[in-house]
Amino acid sequence: MQQSLVILGASGSIGQSTLKVLRHNPSSWHVLALTAARNVDAMLRDCLEFSPRFAVMVDEDAARALAAGLKTHGSATQVMAGVDALCDVAAHPDAHSVMAAIVGAAGLAPTMAAVRAGKRILLANKEALVMSGAFFMEAVREHGAELLPIDSEHNAIFQCLPTEVQRQPGFCDLAAAGVSKILLTGSGGPFRYTEISELGKVTPAQAIAHPNWSMGAKISVDSATMINKGLEYIEARWLFNAAPEQIQVVIHPQSVIHSMVQYKDGSVLAQLGNPDMCTPIAHALAYPARISSSVEPLDFFTVGEFSFIRPDYARYPNLALAINACQQGQAATTALNAANEEAVAAFLSTRIGFMDISRINEAVMLAFESSAVGSLDDLLVLDEMARERAHHLIKELG
Ligand code: NAD
Ligand code: MG
């Protein structure tokens, strides 16, 4: 029987890779809903191809334009607008799985709606988990939702863990399962060999040009500063119930080993493959079965050699900040995530320099790391205050 899928963030890089995997497996899934912020052309094209029952645009004008476009083609897709509509489709009773692929904190509300409706959630939107941590995981447990990681590292770790741990990884006991360490690999981004003194001058175009992965603009800049690995460190902490000392970051420039799990008997299990998000997407869509993903098989003779480097925090101050935030607790990680979203947006629009991103992140994190957070609402207030502080600092620097 076909399973029905909601794709939050369908017009983005992960959303498009998801549609690519579906094209390879046309009989297995039915698209119940596609959503995007405002990209009408992409949504019109994809709605005509996949005929979802619902299409949601966050922007009202974009929703009107999409509805008009669909009408001229005689499409039966129902168009809705706004954040409430995103949450409605994410929690729709007919949805079996929800691909959570909105970028940033904006993904929290619809992803939480899917969690509260007890869905199978394919989680790409790491910022939602970073900013809400234990509250998110508690909701997963309370509502019996199922979390399958899409982030390639976490998907790799998941695949290297024992089956009984895979059933509820967020509440597992890694040590009891024989795990001594999670080895989180990262490429080091486009500036891993750039002189540190030159980093202040790099442009958004240079930062977005990732050597191995093709991704959205925000995560590409995050990969260049390596805060992406730091957010993934926090993500691993929650997804696998890992203590900070159980996670180690390893730079692996070839991006072929997507992460590893070290066991106490000395074994290290790794998941490898060509760097293409269609693999983790196909894995999570079909789990525990295996389906075709369109990704070329890995050719070891082309790869040739693997190398590993210890991260240098002078080059990647943002990575150190995120690891620190993980140790500090929820207020620090929420503030850091919010500051980073604002700082990256300011860098992309050339209002600040590349190294200013970590300066802003550090100042905002320091200002809010001791805030009390007793509920999800407290976190949303903190997120807002951290963004305001970041805006203020961006203005001062700009
Ligand atoms: P992207 O920028 O390419 O796409 C983002 C999607 O979110 C788009 O569909 C956009 O319309 C939608 N969106 C943006 N702002 C929104 C808002 N305010 N409300 C609702 N929808 C909004 O991003 P991406 O690279 O596909 O990344 C998506 C998520 O997946 C991010 O959290 C990222 O960290 C994570 N991720 C991406 C990759 C990758 O290879 N691209 C890998 C691992 C994890
Ligand atoms: Mg990743």
Q: How confident is the model over 65-100, as pLDDT tens digits?
A: 999 999 999 999 999 999 999 999 999 999 999 999
Q: How many helices (H) and strands (E) does the chain have?
A: 17, 11
Percent of the chain with pLDDT over 70: 100
Chain segment 139-151, per-residue pLDDT in tens: 999 999 999 999 9
Chain segment 176-211, per-residue pLDDT in tens: 999 999 999 999 999 999 999 999 999 999 999 988
- What is the structure's pLDDT at 213? 81
Ligand 2 centre to CA of 151 (Å) is 5
Binding residues for 1-deoxy-D-xylulose 5-phosphate: 126, 152-153, 187, 210, 223, 228-229, 232
Minimum CA distance residue for ligand 1 atom 43: 151
Is ligand 1 within 6 A of the CB of residue 127? yes
Q: What is the mean pLDDT of residues 152-178?
A: 96
Is ligand 1 within 6 A of the CB of residue 280? no
Q: What is the mean pLDDT of residues 314-330?
A: 97
Is ligand 1 within 6 A of the CB of residue 12? yes
- What is the structure's pLDDT at 210? 81
Q: How confident is the model at residue 261 (pLDDT cuts 50, 70, 90)?
A: very high
Q: What ipTM did this prediction achieve?
A: 0.99
Geometric angle at alpha carbon 368, from 364 and 369, rounded to 5°: 105
pLDDT of residue 169 exceeding 80, the answer is yes
Q: What is the mean pLDDT of residues 334-356?
A: 98
Ligand 1 centre to CA of 103 (Å) is 3
pLDDT of residue 398 exceeding 80, the answer is no
- Ligand closest to the CA atom of residue 255: 2
CB environment 196-231: b (16+ within 10 A), e (fewer): eeebeebebeebbebebbebbbbbbbbbbbbbbbbb
Ligand 2 centre to CA of 184 (Å) is 9
Is ligand 1 within 6 A of the CB of residue 13? yes
* Pocket residue to mutate for ligand 1, from 11, 13, 131, 223, most atoms within 8 A of Cβ: 13
Binding residues for Mn(2+): 151, 153, 232
Sheet of strand 247-251, all strands in order from the earlier edge strand to the far edge: 247-251, 179-186, 257-263, 268-272
- What is the structure's pLDDT at 140? 98
Is ligand 1 within 6 A of the CB of residue 109? no
Long-range pairs for 134-139 at CB < 8 Å and ≥24 separation? Answer: 134/238, 134/330, 135/375, 135/376, 135/379, 136/112, 136/238, 137/170, 137/171, 137/238, 139/112, 139/115
Is ligand 1 within 6 A of the CB of residue 9? yes
Q: How confident is the model at residue 133 (pLDDT cuts 50, 70, 90)?
A: very high
Give me the domains of the chain, ranges plus CATH numbers. 3-149 (3.40.50.720)
Q: What is the mean pLDDT of residues 105-113?
A: 97
ω into residue 288 within 30 of 0, thus cis? yes
The shares of helix, strand and coil residues in the chain, as percent rounded to the nearest 5, are 50, 15, 35
Ligand 1 centre to CA of 12 (Å) is 5
> Residues 6 or more apart from 7 whose CB is under 8 A from it?
15, 18, 19, 31, 33, 34, 35, 99, 101
Q: What is the mean pLDDT of residues 222-242?
A: 98
pLDDT of residue 138 exceeding 90, the answer is yes
- What is the structure's pLDDT at 212? 85
Classified as helix, coil or strand, 29 is strand
**Please, are residues 146 and 210 in contact by the beta-carbon 8 Å criterion?**
no
- Count of CB atoms within 10 A of residue 352's CB? 23
**Please, are residues 151 and 235 in contact by the beta-carbon 8 Å criterion?**
yes
Minimum CA distance residue for ligand 1 atom 41: 215
* Pocket residue to mutate for ligand 1, from 21, 215, 258, 283, most atoms within 8 A of Cβ: 215
